[in-house]
Structure formats: C-alpha cells, structure tokens
Amino acid sequence: MKSIQELSEIRDRMKQAMVIRKGTEKSYDAVAGQGSVRSQVLICGGTGCTSSGSVNIHKALDEELERRGLQDQVKVVQTGCFGLCANGPIMIIYPEGTFYSHVKVEDVPEIVSEHLLGGRSVDRLLHKEKVDGVLTTIPSLADTGFYKKQHRVALRNCGAIDPENIDEYIGTDGYQALAKVLTQMTPQQVIDTVLASGLRGRGGAGFPTGRKWQFAANQPAGKKYVVCNADEGDPGAFMDRSVLEGDPHAVLEAMAIAGYAIGADEGYIYVRAEYPIAVHRLQVAIAQAREYGLLGQDIFGTGFNFDITLRLGAGAFVCGEETALLTSIEGNRGEPHPRPPFPAVKGLFGKPTIINNVETYANVAQIINNGAAWFSAMGTEKSKGTKVFALGGKIVNTGLVEIPMGTTLREIIDDIGGGIPNGKKFKAAQTGGPSGGCIPARFLDTPIDYDNLLAIGSMMGSGGLIVMDEDNCMVDIAHFFLEFTVDESCGKCTPCRVGTRRLLEILEKIISGNGEMEDLDRMEELCRYIKEGSACGLGQTAPNPVIATMKYFRDEYIAHIVDKTCPAGVCKKLLRYSIDPEKCIGCGKCARNCPNEAIVRTDYIAPGHKLASMQILAEKCVKCGACMSGCKFDAISKS
Amino acid sequence: MKKKLTTVVFRGTPEQEEKLIAAIDKYKGVKGAMMPILQEAQSIYGYLPIEVQKIIAERTGVSLEEIYGIASFYAQFKLNPDGEVAVAVCLGTACYVKGSGQIIEEVSKQLNVAVGSTSPDGRYSLEATRCIGACGLAPVMTINGEVYGRLTVAEVAGILEKYR
Ligand SMILES: Cc1cc2nc3c(=O)[nH]c(=O)nc-3n(C[C@H](O)[C@H](O)[C@H](O)COP(=O)(O)O)c2cc1C
Ligand code: FES
C-alpha cells in the first residue's frame, strides 16, 4: 500500500520521465540529460486506430527497434484515442511532437531509420490538411485545425498516457485529488466544491452533479453505492468508451471521491460487454489501483474503504436509463421503475445510490485539484466546463472532440471537423441520438449548451454528433431512429410499445410512397400520446427525431407524400435509376454487377463511342445501386 | 435487436456442460448473478440455445421463462450460434448516414442469410451491430473480427469471396 508521500515520489519520477512529451525540449541531448529515453513513440490503441491496424504497427515497431538495438533508447507507448480517428492509425514521436497519420506496417522501417536514427521526419507521412483551401503539411498535433479550438479536460490524458500503467496516471497528478479530499476536506466540502463548479451530468439530462451527491449524502448513514453509467446507449457514439480506454483511472479516482462524499464504500461500473478494450483496461486499472492500495481497505491510512466491481452490460438501450441500469446490475431484465423514489434515496439493492456518467466522473478529480472557480470559468452561464462529442457522419475529421460549452456548431463542423467532404452541402446535425433531434443550418451559430439545444428542439444527449449532408433523407433518418426505439422498447408500457410501432408503420407507409397528407397529423398526435403517456425517458423522448424532422424538414415529408419522390435519393421504393446514353460507353460493367439482370444493351451508339449504351429495365430493377457505385463514367443517376 | 430462434442443431459436449456447471456454482449465493452466468455460458458455447438455458434453470432453480426473458432482452445474448464466417455490419448512426443500410442488404443478398440469423448449415451468420467505435472508417463491417472500413456496395462481393 502506498502512502501519500510515496504517491508524490512516483509522481515526481514519472513527471521527469514524461516531460519529453511536452514537446518543448527540442533536442535529444537536452532530454537525455534528464535521465529519460531519448525518444518516445506514442501509438494510438483506441478502438478506431486498433480497427485500422495500430496493434500490428506497435508490434512491427518493437521488432524493428530490437533488431537495431534501440529498444533502450526509444520507448513505445500505447495510448488511448487522440481523437482524429479518421486519420488513423496515428503515431506521435517526441520530443519533436511529430505527428504521423495513416501509418502502415510497411512504413515502420523508414520511420526508424529516417526519424529515430537520422533525425529527419518522414515527410510523406506527416499529416496534411487544407489551410485556406491549400493542402498543407502539419508537423505537430497541436497545430492541426482539429486541435486548435478544442479544450481537453475530460480527455486530457487520452492519447497522452499509457492507460495500462498506473504510474503514468500518477505522473499527471493522478490520485492527488483523492489524497486531498481524504486528508484535507470533509465530505460536505467535497460536495460544496462540486456544486460550486457548476458541473452537470454528461449522460444526457444535465442534472447538477453536486445536488445529486447532496441528496445521497443526506440519507441516513449505512450501506450506500456509487455507480458509473458506462452503458453508452446512443448507437452512434463512442465518447465514454474512449475515456475508459484512454484514462480509466480518472473514473476510478472520481468514484472513490464520490464514495467519500456520500459515505459509500462500494462502487459498480456498468460497462457494455461490446467494449472489449475498455473492459480490459478497466480490469487492469482496478487491479493496479488495488495493488497500490488506492482502492480497498483503509486508503492512505485514513480509515476510508472503497472498492469497485465491474458489471458487463449486455446491450439494451433502456439499460442506460438509471433505474433500468440498477435493475440490470441486480441481475434482472433491465426494466425501468417509476421515480420517485429516486436512486439517491432508494437505488441499488434498495440502498441510496448515486449514478453518474463516465464523462461526468472524468471531470471530478480536476475540479478538486484546480478548484471550482477554474472549472466554472469555462462554458456558458448555466452550462459550465466542456463537452466531449463523437463527431461522425459526413465530416472530414471524424473523431472525438472536446470543446468548451458555448462553442457553436459551425465552429465544430468547419474549424474542428474540417467541413463536409466532396463539396457537399450541410443539411442537418443530429445530437442526442435516438432521444434527440436534428439541427438545421439556420441554427449553426447557436452556442452549444444544455438549454440552447433544448430550445431548438434537440438536446445535448451524451455526445453523439452526426453530420448529414444533402444526400441524406430526413424522413429516412427519422425512420432509422424510430426503428431503433421500437426494437429497444422494453415493452412494459403501452404508449411506448404500441405507440412507437404505430408511428413506425406510418413512416414506412410514407417512405414506400403510400403516404397521405393526413398522416402528418396522425403522426403529430401519436407523438404527443407517446411523450405524455410513457413511463420512462426512453418512451418520453422516442418521438423527438420525428418531431424535429417534421418541424424543420416538412418539405421533405411532403415531397414523399405528394410527389412520391425522395429528394435526397435515399428511399428505395421511390427511386428510379437511369443511364445517360450520351455518357455511357457501353462497357457493360453495370449489367454484370446487376443482381437481377435488369440492365440490357440498347442499339444506340453515342457519338464518339464504340459500343451501344446500356439501359435499366424499371420493372426488374431492385434499386440496389450496385450499377451506379460501379460505374466509372458517371453515366448512372438516381432520382 | 429482434431475436429469432435458431435452426442450427445443438452440439454441446460433456466438457462444455462440466464447465458450465462449474461456472454456475461459482456464483452460488452472489447477488444479481444471472447476467454473469449467462455471459460465461455464452463464452463456453458461443451462444445460448434453449438447451443451455434449461441446464442453468435446473441448476439455479430460476424458472426457464425468467432466464429466457433475460436472454432475449439483451442484444449481447445470442440465441443463434455465430457462423464459421460471422459477418457483422455496423448500423450505428455514423455508419448509417454513410450508407451501411445498403451494405447490410448487399451482404444479406450475397450470402442468402437474413439479418440476425445463421444459415442452417452453420456456415454464415449476419448481424447488425451498433457503433463499434470505428466511425472514422464508416461504413464498417467485421468478418470474424477483422474490420473492413470505408465500404462501398460494389466492394462487398469481392470481400466475401475471400471467405467462400
Ligand atoms: C433511454 C435512456 C437512455 C440513457 N442512456 C444513457 C447512457 O447511455 N449513458 C448515460 O450516462 N446516461 C444515459 N441515460 C441517462 C441516465 O438515466 C442518467 O440520467 C445518467 O446516467 C445520470 O448521470 P449524469 O447525471 O452524470 O449524466 C439514459 C436515459 C434514458 C432515459
Ligand atoms: S457508427 Fe459504425 S463504427 Fe461508429
């Protein structure tokens, strides 16, 4: 078990070892004198980069270093997500801070010989991005447009430390906040600090975290629980996963602090079983924290006990809802309960329980270390601090971004996200996942915070931010989310179970070309009925994607209903594919790609071409699009 | 996700059953243990056929109805075994807006397997998943764990060819 003294010694030692990553020491020698290796190579081991092959790069690099006898001079560190997932696998080499993107296994020998031995950067691997319309080489991560407007608090260690090494976390002042609360603060002072910081829940609803803790602390002493919601139900989001993969100790430390504040000695993390890397890193982190005595009995000799158990969630959206989540930890079908009683009064196994989101916890230790005023200086009047978003969809820089509250959507999309690819036009941004709404272009300059997003008919949600362009059909998107909620409704109450199904049927009618104008009124009425009658948040918010699209994109609904067309060319049953005989060179590739023999040769030969053009037989076409995506001559279009 | 009962014949071995019983007994007296038991059972058999649920019911004294209720409630529990070639297409929002709906249809057509099921010979299975965290590569699918990103409908047949 470590004492506070020992903790500080590890911190000081690790700070020295990691100073190289500040990227300020420009020459190898300066750093070598400080007793650390001369170069450190950070490789992203988040899910995104792992999917694009970072594990093999790590292996190849280890082997190459060994072959050249450099293993003691160059340290390779596997980190969590850097954020720029679209450009993965990502590698950063310190002390220079050189940023390589799209690295391949074949590039490794050159990186070693040129960069690590020769001291010259491998220019072709340097990250490039458009600056004022010109493709420019960006030498370091901090200089990318993607990073400039970000402010990393919850993500501060993601991509900066090795998440499987507790010493590195300690080297960034890790567990100092726990030491501070246990030795210098009363539980009430901890709660007051969190209250004063203005921190609100990052799981969606935005409830003030300090108030929640106060409720639980006010319950009579006895068994209490601290729970972390790592269920991340939004089907298009990966913020919480990235925090767990990149900085698991931040969550453990915060849970212990919360335990001290409310008088609990046991915590549960409910994490999706589908997140194998996050689960593994949590297991490693919990074992290391126990070994150091930072979890367990009599922490720092103060008499405070706290331990954490992992529970694997099994993929049900409703289990992200807090009462359902607790039922699921108890081992039952995760069905929600009516509140009150709130979990703070009667929660897990009937005991007072606080439940917070991963990102909420990721802010706590820093609030304790830096003070409430430091935190509340960021953000807007009622939404303090930062918010992490998983930026995806039709955007150049897909990835993970953290911005101060109050940043506009336009800044996120244009400056950080690098705009929309292929010169397409922005149509809408979707936040809040299946419970949220979509934001049309006219609100791009709205400062993002809890209240503003609600006012424009969407919500903060947990942080999914999906950008859609002119090629996306908003009726189809509404259908997509509703299909999700119909699937995920636990079936307990009628408005949610039957109401969402009826709503989906009407949407299906519309996208098949059988809609009538009266359907719009029927949908509005159903939405109201589901919202008002459902027992839990899932049903109460399920109509939101429909309501928002009907409000902002009514013309698209009308086009489907009256003109029987899908303006974006998505809804299959309303689509017609056709071949432009002047552009078609008659190569016949489309006919070979067609699964249904729906494409035949005509006898028309366009001027300048040798072969007769092709033609699509509407009655046989199954509208799969295989012809169009295979055509190299842009001769096939859909309408 | 909708659950369909399997058409693949159960082929559990005595060794698997022994492991299952050990796993069940490990959780004797633990609060809220049904989920971990089912998770272990799934890692032993690869899925949770009704035969396995029956063993768990007998051994724990929990009714089969209740166990089936839990197994069918959670997306993670598979009532169908994975095929030797297990294809999963991401239908997370980021992938969907980039066309993964067309990708999954194409895979289904190519393999002649409905979404959420396994071919009766046990060769191919196809499932839809939620965000797998690789949105930077959207649209994505995995085949036996291998990730394929930035897919187009036209590429699908060629990729599947490798697994025929
Ligand atoms: C249908 C539904 C799904 C939810 N999913 C999540 C989720 O995936 N993650 C999460 O942290 N909160 C989710 N919530 C919110 C939780 O109920 C709860 O408010 C939150 O975990 C509280 O933590 P916070 O105050 O730190 O945000 C969901 C709520 C509803 C109604
Ligand atoms: S939505 Fe498909 S990987 Fe994220």
The string of pLDDT tens digits covering residues A245-260 is: 999 999 999 999 999 9
CATH architecture of B85-161: 3-Layer(aba) Sandwich (3.40)
Distance CA A466, CA A185 (A): 42
Percent of chain A surpassing pLDDT 90: 78
- Strand, coil or helix: what is A579? strand
Pair type for strands A225-230 and A266-272 = parallel
CA distance A431 to A450: 11
DSSP A254-271: HHHHHHHHHT--EEEEEE
Hey, is the C-beta of A430 within 8 angstroms of any chain B C-beta?
yes
Q: Are B120 and B131 in contact (CB under 8 A)?
A: no
**pLDDT tens-digit series, residues A511-530:** 999 999 999 999 999 999 99
For the Cβ of A335 lying below 6 angstroms from any atom of ligand 1, the answer is no
Beta carbons of A464 and B109 less than 8 Å apart: no
- CB-CB contact of A466 with A392 (8 Å): yes
For residue B104, the ligand closest to its alpha carbon is 2
Query: Is the predicted ipTM greater than 0.95, yes or no?
Result: no
Q: Is the pLDDT of residue A510 over 90?
A: yes
pLDDT tens track for A520-573? 999 999 999 999 999 889 999 999 999 999 999 999 999 999 999 999 989 988
Tell me: cis bond preceding A341? Omega within 30 of 0 counts: yes
**B117 vs A266: CA distance, rounded Å:** 40
Give B103's strand partners: none
Question: What single-letter amino acid sits at A572?
Answer: K
In three-state secondary structure terms, A441 is helix
Between residues A27 and A156, which one has the greater pLDDT? A156
Report pLDDT digits (tens) over A288-319.
Answer: 999 999 999 999 999 999 999 999 987 788 99
CB burial of A51-75 (b: ≥16 within 10 Å; e: otherwise) equals bbebeebbebbeebbeeeebeeebb
Residue A35 has pLDDT above 70, yes or no: no
**A135 Cα: distance to centroid of ligand 1 (angstroms):** 41
* Rounded Cα gap, residues A214 and A236, in angstroms: 33
- Map out the domains of chain A with their CATH numbers: 38-140 (3.40.30.10), 166-376 (3.40.50.11540), 386-469 (3.10.20.600), 474-563 (1.20.1440.230), 576-638 (3.30.70.3270)
A195 at the B interface (CB within 8 A)?
no
| Mean pLDDT along residues A140-146 | 84
A314 and B137: CB-CB below 8 Å?
A: no
Rounded to 5 degrees, what are φ and ψ at A317? -55, -40
Residue A33 has pLDDT above 50, yes or no: no
Instruction: Enumerate residues lining ligand 2, CB below 6 A.
Output: A 236; B 90, 92-95, 131-135, 138, 140
Minimum CA–CA partner of A596 in chain B: B109
Contact A125/A101 with Cβ under 8 angstroms?
yes
Ligand 2 center–CA A429 separation, angstroms:
16
pLDDT interval class at B4 (50, 70, 90): low
Q: With CB atoms and an 8 Å threshold, state whether A629 touches B98.
A: no
| Percent of chain A at pLDDT exceeding 70 | 98
Q: What is the C-alpha separation between B111 and B119, in angstroms, rounded?
A: 9
Chain A residues inside the 8 Å CB shell of B96: 236, 480
pLDDT surpassing 50 at residue B60: yes
Q: Residue A415: left if φ>0, alpha if ψ -120 to 50, beta else—which one?
A: alpha
The per-residue pLDDT for range B101-157, each reduced to its tens digit, is 999 999 999 999 999 889 988 899 999 988 888 888 999 999 998 899 999 988 999
> Smallest Cβ distance to B94: which of A274, A330, A393?
A393
Decide if A596 touches B, using CB distance below 8 A.
Answer: no
Interatomic CA distance for residues A350 and A344, integer angstroms: 10
Q: Is the CB of A415 under 6 A from ligand 1?
A: no
Q: Do the beta carbons of residue A283 and residue A275 sit within 8 Å?
A: no
Give chain B positions within 8 Å (CB) of A595: 109
CA of B126 relative to ligand 1 center, distance in Å? 30
